[in-house]
Amino acid sequence: MGAAAGQAPGSRSRRRGGVESASTRSVGALTRCPACATSMPAKMVDDHLGSQVCESQRKWRAQQHSRTQAAAWTALCVDNGRTLHLNASIADQQDEQARADAAARIAMGAALGVSVVDEFVTEHEEATILEYVRSSDLRESSFNGRHMGCKWGVDCDLYTRKTYEATRELPEVLQNIMARFKSVAALATPARTDWTPNEANAIWYDARHGGHFLGAHVDDRFMSKGPIVNLSLGGDCVMTYEREREQDATTGRLQLKSIPPELPAALQTVRVHLRRRSLQVMDKVVRYRFTHEIRAEDFLSDARCSITFRHSPVTEHGEMRPRGPTLY
């Protein structure tokens, strides 16, 4: 018998007894789930979203992406993937590949929580701040390494771990700089909109003649909340971040602290070149999983001044009467 009118020769009828077969009925256009990217009929997306299958697929894809990212970033590391040298400036690179590598290092730094903005202050602003610090009450200190220093803002009692109201307000010369912090991408995120420094300390290093250095340490994670921000003045240096170790609850052995899966698992050391007049933001992984230090040999000039800004919520009213060590 010949093909029905309007039906291509050789094709089979889709109807049985005038009713379309359920097995051949059109299920509509395919689309991708916005959460897990699985392809499916559009009309099934609403039921699929948030299901156990959807969540499982989303996690699997995230893990695959993290492994791919970690493998790519490992190529930027040296010493069998254990050491990363961050380059904060793309403009210094002459060829396309070098610029791409520099951009990848900056992205990796952002994932770690390290952001550096070169030339954050002008030469005139640098000179003004340095003159103000020189005229301040600089005192010798061996706290976290030998140096000279002074501080402003709230008073932190390191013995009782309590924070008192300020007796020396942050000077105007620093408040003018702080007003520009929100122009820094790492400080302009929704999570940082309420972060306002209420404490600053200046450290003056005489690296060549005084043997000054910054010892490996972490900034107090209970008293100071959010990121740590520092301004480099008077000279360049290299800051070294070292991944902390913690005791395994089962074996009792020391092991490296965990880091996000998109970072190279073997990563232990991060070295960051801090140019004079640059601003560094320390947050996320390096804030809570790494120590930081400036070794004596990593000062690239005879002298350097660092201004560090923190936010430490006030817990006590009145003037501090310290029972233990203080910064200055």
Cβ atoms 242, 293 nearer than 8 A: yes
- Surface-to-core class of residue 244, CB atoms within 10 Å of its CB (0-12 exposed, 13-18 middle, 19+ buried): middle
Domain's final residue, options 18, 39, 74: 74
Q: What is the pLDDT of residues 160-215, one digit of tens each?
A: 888 999 999 999 999 999 999 989 988 988 888 889 999 999 999 998 777 899 99
Residues 118 and 44 in one domain: no
The secondary element (H helix, E strand) that includes residue 184 is none
Give the chain's domain count. 2
CATH code, domain carrying 107: 2.60.120.590
d(CA 18, CA 20): 7
- Surface-to-core class of residue 120, CB atoms within 10 Å of its CB (0-12 exposed, 13-18 middle, 19+ buried): buried
At 20, is the secondary structure helix, strand, or coil?
A: strand
d(CA 83, CA 68): 19
Residues 168 and 53 in one domain: no
Which regions of the chain are under pLDDT 50? 1-27
Residue 211 inside a domain? The answer is yes
Residues 39 and 177 in one domain: no
Residue 323 inside a domain? The answer is no
- Backbone φ and ψ for 190, nearest 5 degrees, come out as -55, -35
* pLDDT of 15: 45
Contacts of 158 (CB under 8 A, 6+ apart): 220, 324, 325, 326, 327
* pLDDT of 326: 60
Residues 88 and 168 in one domain: yes
Rounded to two decimals, the pTM is 0.77
Query: Domain limits at 131?
Result: 84-311
Q: Are strands 269-274 and 83-86 parallel, antiparallel or unpaired?
A: parallel
- Surface-to-core class of residue 50, CB atoms within 10 Å of its CB (0-12 exposed, 13-18 middle, 19+ buried): exposed
d(CA 130, CA 233): 7
Residue 320 inside a domain? The answer is no
Bridge partner residues of 256 (DSSP): 245
* pLDDT of 12: 46
* pLDDT of 9: 41
Residues 294 and 232 in one domain: yes
- State how far the alpha carbon of 152 is from the alpha carbons of 72, 133, 228, 238, 323, in Å: 43, 11, 15, 25, 19
* pLDDT of 99: 84
d(CA 268, CA 325): 31
b/e 93-117 (16+ beta carbons within 10 angstroms → b): eeeeeeeebbeebbebbebbbbbbb
Task: Specify the amino acid at residue 238.
Answer: V
* pLDDT of 165: 93
Residues 142 and 257 in one domain: yes
Residues 69 and 90 in one domain: no
Apex 230 CA angle, 224 and 233, nearest 5? 150
* pLDDT of 60: 64
Residues 63 and 98 in one domain: no
Cβ atoms 75, 267 nearer than 8 A: no
* pLDDT of 209: 76
219 token code pair: 């900034």
* pLDDT of 170: 96
Cβ atoms 200, 308 nearer than 8 A: yes
DSSP designation for 304: E
- State how far the alpha carbon of 76 is from the alpha carbons of 101, 107, 321, in Å: 8, 11, 49
